[in-house]
Chains A and B, each alone.
Chain A
Amino acid sequence: MGNWQKVREVFDAALRQQPEERESYINDTCGHDKDLLKEVESLFSSLTRCDNFLETPAVVHVADVIESDTGSLERGTRIGHYEIIEQIGSGGMGEVYLAQDLTLGRHIAIKTLNEEFKNDGANLTRFVGEAKAASALNHPNILVIHEIGKSEIAHYIVSEFIEGRTLREICTQSHMSLGEVLDVSIQIADALCAAHGVSLVHRDIKPENVMVRPDGYVKVLDFGLAKLVTERNKPVLSFGESTVGRNQTGKGLILGTVNYMSPEQAKGEELDERTDIFSIGAVIYEMIAGKTPFGGESMSETFANLINAEPQPLSHFASNVPSELQRIVSKTLRKNKDERYQTMKGLLADLKDVREKLTLDQKLERTHSLDDHVPEILRATTADATLQTAETSRGFSQEIKQHKPLAAFCLVIFLAGGVLIGLWYAGQKNIEPTAPILSAVFSSETLSTNGKIGHAVVSSDGKNVVYISGIRTNQSIWLRQLESANNIEIIPASDDVYRGLALSPDGNSLYFVRRPKDAEEAAIYRVSIFGGIPTQIIGEAGAWLNISPDGERISFVRGDGPEDQNCSLWIADAMDGKHEKQIALRSRPIRIGASAFSPDGKSIAFAVGQSDNASNEFGLKELNIESGVEREITAQKFFNIKQIAWLPNQSGLLLTASVNPDKNFRIWQVSTASGEASPLTNDSETYSALSLNKDASVLVSTKVKADFRLQLLNTNNPSVRRVLADARRVAFAPDGRVIFSSAMFGSSQDIWSVNVDGSGQRQLTNDAADDSMPTVSPDNNSIFFVSNRTGQAQVWRMNADGSNQTQITQKEGGSPLFVSPNGKWIYYQHSLNANLWRASSKGGDERLVLDRRKSFFAISPDGMQAAFSEMQGEERILTIVSLTDGRPIKTFRLGDRKAYLLNIAWLPDGRNLVYVLANREYENNTLWRQSLDRGQPQQITALGDEMIVAFAIAPDGKSFAIVQGVWRGDAVLLRGLR
């Protein structure tokens, strides 16, 4: 049907109209198109007749077929000395039957193991383990196991047969009185007390697993999932020959029904007795409220509620709930297990107190007992007792869950296990007593080796790491559960670009900065660590997120992009981004970097400064949020600071920072009291990310490496590349030699020279400072470069063989770009202001030539003109100006209007420019030629997606050099920082 799309559109639009307006809308819209009208009308006519159509799930319609298909055991079938009467339930591992014990002449429940598990050793072991663990508990409220056996038909467990109803059925069918609620709760708690006494955690407490006999006796079922909790200093339960309580479910498995799961269980963390405390709380809540405390419309909503929401008070549902009971239930449902009842015993005692008080009150008051208005639902009426026996009695609950962690979509990003790569010793053993005194010895574990980790943060409890996979492109966000080594995808890979990560203190909400590919504006989002659709909370934001210790506020930075005029630090409500408040502001070139709320939440530490002219001008400030007063935390200055984290007792901070001339970023510690600063790491790695868990026992960082290679390409056949060296910047000498600076990080940059065929590689500078941006004079005799060996970026000169290194500029220097044809002037780009200067090539006479702040300048071979790109309206264009008076001479359109100019050079003939374009993400590099005589730029070649950081044209114009590569990052875990 060709007009499907049209029909669809009209139908959809009509649905948006008020019902009474639909007809006229359809008539109007279809006009003379009779076919369309007929089609839409027939659909609406169908719609009016299909209210219940498809509203009953399909499975309902074939349920009986499925039933007949399940191959359950026929009545009269013998298993051992048991004879099947009928099936009464079905669990995750098999069926449950009512059967006759032919030896003892009693009814029993028998649970068979599914065919499929027969040859499955792991499940068999679990099956036996379940039975034995439960058998070991001789408690009136725990189902009694009679036998574990094996017949020709199946493996099986025989248990006592309970007549009664499940608590689920009771809850659904009637309203329970307060007395009944307490009686049931106390019995469940009592059963769990016994189980916990032998380190057996149930893990799956829910109304379906509680049977209530007609006489009010409660039986807790399904200890099958119970996992032995290996308590320290306590012998593990002994099972016959084996003394190891090897149970079963493995670490980090999610078991149980979502509605009754504790938050730690939902997160797939390791569980202890306190998860049962939470679950029983949820059951008590439901008995009173008639609904589960966190139940939502969907599973993810339930998860979200479990993590973020507080349940409505019980008084909302029932008027007669004693405040003491409300307190008890609230305490069991605390999200943080440390805030819950710590033992089932404690809970049991409190429940008993309430029960006693209730009994006493009832006795005293006589009248209007709380129970009066409710039927005694715990007792089965004689009328349907037979039916109940047949229908609802069971020995085992119907379901066993073996849910594994919520999502372990395992990418091979992380290595299976941690690798202990060694111990480091801090350079300075003699840290002053006033310093935070972190032990200089700690262990390191690499979390990744693929070099693709963009950023990583650790959760407050130290159990999870959230990381960005993908350095700049194809990024996704993942949760790594450290104990289980599971990786769970939170945000799937896309073209979007992510920066900054922060976790709420409870570990449940993740904050990140996201920018659509090629877009200018980024925004801050919040998402549950279980995934889902992220909510934008703050627009137009940069990076450097941090969340206050109480989880209430978020700090972030605006205007840290290279073209921004002002840079500001903000705080806002973490939940929804409301109440934005600017708390610090700096003008360029000063910018604000990472920030961190102090543990007491009263102040924020932040990094502020500039690294443009390579001075150690980055400092660390502490800002009192209420008063707005700033103070300097330490007199130590840095070249740059990447991340900041407070130590728990507010005694100090850790930072990833570098100081000139030693360029690699180490982890530093700074004392807040004395301002003392010292590096903790002294290896050659560069550490970027930095995050600490609450007690600082776990530190997560990323190690960053630059992987850029100098490559030579032939202009006529650019597909052939010759790799010459790892490099950062490049220039050609007039005699054809290639001069380059070595790769940054790990060691300082130095200047080297090499022949175009790769021979004769030679190091020209060798010092602790960074020497870069080489430029060679026309006579081949002088190489100018920028060096920060004085602490500031200055222009230096040396002979072609590296001898006679002399400082040329004295004020604020910069990066050399061009030597005038007569050799008299060295042109350089000012490090701080990014405008164009020149100085005498012998030193002195420093003056501003062109006051335009640009990323890239190219100067014509005659030294008369400069080319750069700038914005003209919405478009980026290429502009050529006179260096004599700064007046524009010509403008050209760029080869690709959406692209950014990455580098530009003048061809030796002076009549052509070549430039590199890339997209906003530094991908999709293309090389273009612009003739000064003709208007249209021509694309020479595509240069791939890896980032290009330097570009130079050979003096003969026949070949060119690029420095291209990627940044690599790997996550690392440090422990033992105490």
Chain B
Amino acid sequence: MKPLPDNITERLRAWSDGKAAEASDVLMKLVYDELHRQAHRYLRRERAGHTLQTTALVHEVYLKIVNQEKIAWESRSHFFAIAAKLMRQILIDYARTKHRAKRGGAMDKAPLENALTIRVSETSFDLLALDEVLTRLAAKEEHLATIVELRFFSGLSIVETAEVLAISDSTVKRDWQMAKAWLHRELTKTNSRRCLSTD
């Protein structure tokens, strides 16, 4: 076996096959549950001038899950890479729910206009669009997508991301810039196209 994280990608691939499905469910549920709690906390703290730390969330989930004997984690890095992927799924699921609610107008009370949109300088986009574009980036270079998952979806700092991937801070910084630049460009493209077609 090669040292991690070279084969994280491989593991993640293996992760999606049937064998690991059960363990994945356990992890999914734990991350999911923890996320709920954290979101509550976030809302309280926000009013008290705090910011939400997704990193703390992931760390806590990590501490909680590593001892689940059913899940034989290869390493901490392995966990963080997986958690970031799950976090992406979870958050995108939320965004999707919200999107549906917005369309159907079923249950929702709050104004939703900007809830899902993220300011990108002059333009804005929604998380679902980002998810799509990110998938395209992964097809080009899985590594860059992983960095985005760790940074944006898991909230890891540059330093932490470097630790997880066992590469240098400066490499993470440059890769992060590359990923952002590319995603940003693609999103603005997508957005203008969307605007044309839907409006």
Contact = CB atoms under 8 A, between A and B. Distances in A.
Contacts of A401: 60, 63-64
Task: Please list the 10 inter-chain residue pairs (A to B) with the smallest Cβ-Cβ separation, ordered nearest first.
Answer: A404-B67, A66-B39, A403-B63, A57-B155, A90-B40, A46-B185, A47-B181, A50-B184, A494-B3, A62-B94
18 contacts: A43-B185, A45-B185, A54-B180, A58-B155, A59-B35, A65-B94, A66-B36, A92-B37, A173-B48, A173-B49, A258-B59, A297-B157, A401-B60, A401-B63, A403-B64, A409-B72, A474-B1, A492-B1
B95 interface: yes
A43 B182 contact: yes
Given A8-B178, A50-B184, A401-B60, A300 B163 contact: yes
A125 B59 CA distance: 26
B119 interface: yes
A482 to B, nearest CB: 16
A116 interface: yes
A492 B2 CA distance: 9
Contact of B64 (A4, A46, A402): A402
Interface centre among B63, B73, B174 (most CB of A within 10 A): B63
Interface in A1-26: 1, 4, 8, 11-12, 15-16
Contacts of B37: 90-92, 398-399
A410 B72 contact: yes
Contacts of B36: 66, 69-70, 90
A325 to B, nearest CB: 28
A69 B38 CA distance: 13
Interface in B52-105: 52, 54, 57, 59-60, 63-64, 66-69, 72-76, 87-88, 91, 94-95, 97-98
Interface centre among A57, A401, A407, A486 (most CB of B within 10 A): A57
Contacts of B20: none
Contacts of A492: 1, 3-4, 74-75
A49 interface: yes
B198 interface: no
A542 to B, nearest CB: 23
A303 to B, nearest CB: 11
Contacts of A62: 91, 94-95, 98, 115-116, 127
Contacts, number: 223
Given A406-B66, A410-B69, A56 B42 contact: no
Contact of B148 (A4, A54, A91, A533): A54
Interface centre among A50, A65, A402, A495 (most CB of B within 10 A): A65
Contacts of B91: 58-59, 61-62
B94 A69 contact: yes
Contacts of A715: none
Interface residues of A, number: 78
Contacts of A486: 67
B110 A409 contact: no
A531 interface: yes
B47 interface: yes
B174 A16 contact: yes
A64 B115 contact: yes
Contacts of B120: 49-50, 53
Given A53-B121, A63-B39, A492-B3, A42 B185 contact: yes
A406 B65 CA distance: 9
A532 interface: yes
Contact of A12 (B49, B148, B174): B174
B33 interface: yes
B73 to A, nearest CB: 5
Given A254-B63, A398-B40, A172 B50 contact: yes
A169 B45 CA distance: 9
A372 to B, nearest CB: 26
A196 B186 CA distance: 60
A404 B75 contact: no
Interface in A56-114: 56-70, 87, 89-92, 95
Nearest to A496: B3
B192 interface: no
A299 interface: yes
Contacts of A884: none
A391 interface: yes
A66 B163 contact: no
B66 A57 contact: no
A469 to B, nearest CB: 12
Contact of A404 (B38, B63, B97): B63
Given A47-B184, A300-B76, A301-B159, 17 more contacts: A12-B174, A47-B177, A47-B180, A49-B184, A50-B121, A53-B120, A57-B152, A58-B88, A59-B57, A61-B118, A62-B94, A63-B52, A95-B40, A254-B63, A410-B69, A489-B74, A533-B163
B172 interface: no
Contact of A8 (B4, B118, B141): B141
Contacts of B87: 58-59
Contacts of B115: 61-62, 64-65
Interface string A393-432: 0000011011111111111000000000000000000000
Contacts of A51: 121
B181 A46 contact: yes
Interface in A449-500: 474, 486, 489, 492-496
A392 interface: yes
Contacts of A403: 60, 63-64, 67
Nearest to A401: B60
A514 to B, nearest CB: 11
A52 interface: yes
Contact of B140 (A1, A45, A494, A531): A1
A298 interface: yes
A404 B68 contact: yes
A281 to B, nearest CB: 22
